[in-house]
Amino acid sequence: MIEFYAQIRLVHIAAVVASGSLFLLRGLMVAGGRGAWALAPLPRYLSYAIDTTLLTAAFMLLSLVPSAVYANGWLAIKLSLLPAYIALGWLALRRPHPAVRQRAYLGAALVAYLGMFAIARTHDPLGPLRLLTGS
């Protein structure tokens, strides 16, 4: 199955971008007072489908690549940010919070997403710092 690594990786990356983009769009809609559209069945189910694809591709990649690739702990740090991103994203898309708190949840979720993205790009637990410093 290693011969499909490049294609699986491409699907994973596309799902990461699609998931983050849809979350950002939905979060901005909720923050802008258009929560009815953001929480409607179509964007919700689309989000479920994208995230399922993302996780499936991630598990496939995990099974294909030797464990030595993860030796420096970057994957563990990335995966530890995932529950924070999910929880903050869930809070950001729910209406019973004051607008300032909801925007704070959205911002914090986006920081967690960008942290995971930077760690994945650099394969380094200090991914965001590596990208900022260029080292």
Q: Which domain holds residue 53?
A: 1-65
| b/e 87-101 (16+ beta carbons within 10 angstroms → b) | ebbebbbeeeeeeee
pLDDT in tens, 37-70: 999 999 999 999 999 999 999 999 999 988 877 8
Question: Could you tell me if 77 and 131 lie in one domain?
Answer: yes
Question: Could you tell me if 3 and 57 lie in one domain?
Answer: yes
Last residue of a domain, one of 24, 40, 65: 65
Q: Which residue in 20, 79, 78 sits closest to 47, CA to CA? A: 20
Question: Could you tell me if 57 and 92 lie in one domain?
Answer: no
- 5 contacts 61 by C-beta, under 8 angstroms: yes
pLDDT in tens, 92-110: 998 777 889 999 999 999 9
Question: Could you tell me if 83 and 61 lie in one domain?
Answer: no
